[in-house]
Structure 1
Amino acid sequence: MKKNVSILSIGDELLNGFTIDTNSSWLAKEISKYDFLDVKNNLTVKDNYEEIYSSLDYLLSKNNRFIFITGGLGPTHDDITKNALMNYFDSELICDLKYMKSLEKRYPIISRELIKNQSQILAVSNIIPNSKGTAIGMALKHDGTDLFILPGVPAEMKNMYHEHVSKKFIDPFFKKKIKYITILTAGIYETKLYEILRDLIYENKENFRVSFLPSYSGVRIRLMSNNNTPLDGFKNLIIKKIDDYIFGFNDDTLEQVISKDLISNGKKIAIAESCTGGYISKKITDIPNSSNYFIGSVVAYSNLVKEEILKVNKKTLVEKGAVSSEVALQMALGVMNKFKSNIGIATTGISGPSGGTKEKPVGLIYIAIASKNCQVVKKFNLIPDREKHRRIATQVCLNMLRLFLKK
């Protein structure tokens, strides 16, 4: 029998638009990994005593096995969660001396008053240590419901969940089960994917649900079982249909996949970016140990840099223009030679909002990838919005590199 789980996020900033609540979605995703746990409620309230009280009344009336509460545990005047819970559960606050000593050791310059504040828990609760920050967490049981009170800082909350909550309260009693698989695609539109998979989806609709989730980074295909039918067989049927467009599964990223491919192939890359302004290099270096395959990059925004650093031919720049297939290829070859890499990558385009013409409108971009034995240049007309254009161009370039490495 499924057990209910609820999430309560506390904080003015979550409701006034200044902070996006990523904690609740992350917690819901973690809980969804367990076979007999089901998130039934996800509430967000302000730093307001009455709103917190009424939310607790509601959630505790819903036969929840677990309630997760995040936010409002800091030392400032607007962090009222601890006091609200103290009043609600009619409990005094006590100082956990062991935790206080650990904070004093980790943060010697913080005042003793603040250290003491951050070391206090409800007398009816047990400590959930915070090794990534100061705010102490709490676990308490009320009428058969376990409540976990965690900081609102995502990195702290996630660490406390993994290190303490899941290990002690969830994993020993609930088994994980694969409830869904997400297939990650790039280089193909949602409508085309559906056209390819339509018959397969219809033939299997009794057992499986299929959702298409498009974004700037590609289209995710979410597979879910209707009746506990194993997903692997259906997944493999889909892979056979669209294998060329699939770059990974679930939480994979293009840059992670490329990292593995570059390391396994023993290849090193260098990048020359114009309109993308270094964003491709940023994505590549987001991956730990990227120095194993990434030598460096040049943001060649001006023609001067294209000429003097990348050795792009001046005549080509004048006759073809900076945004052209010829210049893109010369940039890729130039950065490859400059850094003595195995592969050179280049982008040149018009992200806007100005700079476009009838012949070369805003959104136009050329992406080139070159090695000693192979050269590829492609033209794209992407969304004529500066931010979206640069983000999409980066993903398109990374996917081109993924395919290039397969050759």
Structure 2
Amino acid sequence: MTGNVRQQLRSVAVVGGGPVALIAAVAFAQALPSATITLVPAPVAPDALADRFPIALPATHDLLATLGLSPERLLAKGIARPRLATRFDAWSRDGGAWMVGDDSAATLPEGRLHAVWLRAHGLRRFDELIPACVAASAGIVDPRIEPALQIDPGRFAQVLGSIAGQAGVRPVAAFAAFDGDRLALHDGTHVTADLFIDASGPPRLLSHAASFADWAATLPATRLTVSPPVADPGPIDRYRATPTGWTADWPGATATAGNGGDGIAIVPGRLIAPFDGKVLAIGDAAVQPGPLGRMGFTLALTQLALIHELMPARDPEPLLVAEINRRAGERADRLRDFLATHYHAGGRTTGPFWHRLDRHPRPASLDRLLTQFARRGQVVTDDEETVSRDAWLAVLLGQGIRPERPDPAGLSLSPAEAARAIDTLAARLAALEFPS
């Protein structure tokens, strides 16, 4: 009977050198206080975007708080700065700008906001009804709006290192090799563990890259050049579509992305089985979502939350391993579809970068979502969603997609009544009368 007793992990070794590895070590140390957690340093690769450009969306803030890293603390200590919205220029069917907020859209007593907006024939931009977008455009940070966190990776690593030390994480010499059962270190010693965490980024020092699903046809920005910023964009990320890809203004950097020329090579995609044997990959080692939106760190945090929920035992449990792989895969694929919507929804169509997209079929899941929205204006949220439904709507409506059939919620109002409701709400938000 004792052989069937589930035994807790006694030792975990985390391999990596950036914020993803450090926060993973902290998370395991806090979840398994009686286990030995070892941190094995490894270089941060140039294409380890989750480590180099970390952003934490509001959906991950509860996890950060449980680790002693509340948004309030990170903001107060200058470890993070707020991001309220993302603006896209030259990225729509009519060439106009549109925005996506990091917090929720406003609500209307008359019915679903986007249905009423469509009934009013979109006389205003949809993002004028999203408080975070209004505040971002005004260059203000309002305490009633929950921002995304743009994290300084260097300062964050220092804080995580301190927390890891207090939690008893054991630092050792740098990574040298892995034979599937133990880690070889540069000082000639070795580390064994019940579970190995591959947080080494795209090099995947512990994982089998043979099971990698390539997303380059779906997320075509496979070259990234980063240079010093021209100006501080404030609480907003700014993207501009170009014939050869896009450029972005991020705090601390200006980015140029496409699928040709020089720069950092990016290979978007994911491991089919991030949990394989005694190795569990997280962050860019498990999923490389590419540079658009800087989603890698947020996805790594959601992966940690999943592992915390489904903590594996000392001996691999096939059903649990399969469930972790299934849910992690669905979460990654859903985020892939959200990012791919920026490319494949028919917003920007001019230029060789965008023309080339016609040669590649969309993933079936994305095709179903776009078809359903184009017909009925509905976005059905997924169980493994990383971004909000309002973000989906902002991206789809911003690019110029208009559903064929009106939403029944909108039909309860005349176009004039809908327009008055929208105008009233927009005026309130423009006066910074945000819901508390």
TM range (shorter): under 0.3
TM-score of the superposition, structure 1-length normalised? 0.23
TM-score of the superposition, structure 2-length normalised? 0.22
> Which has the larger share of strand?
1
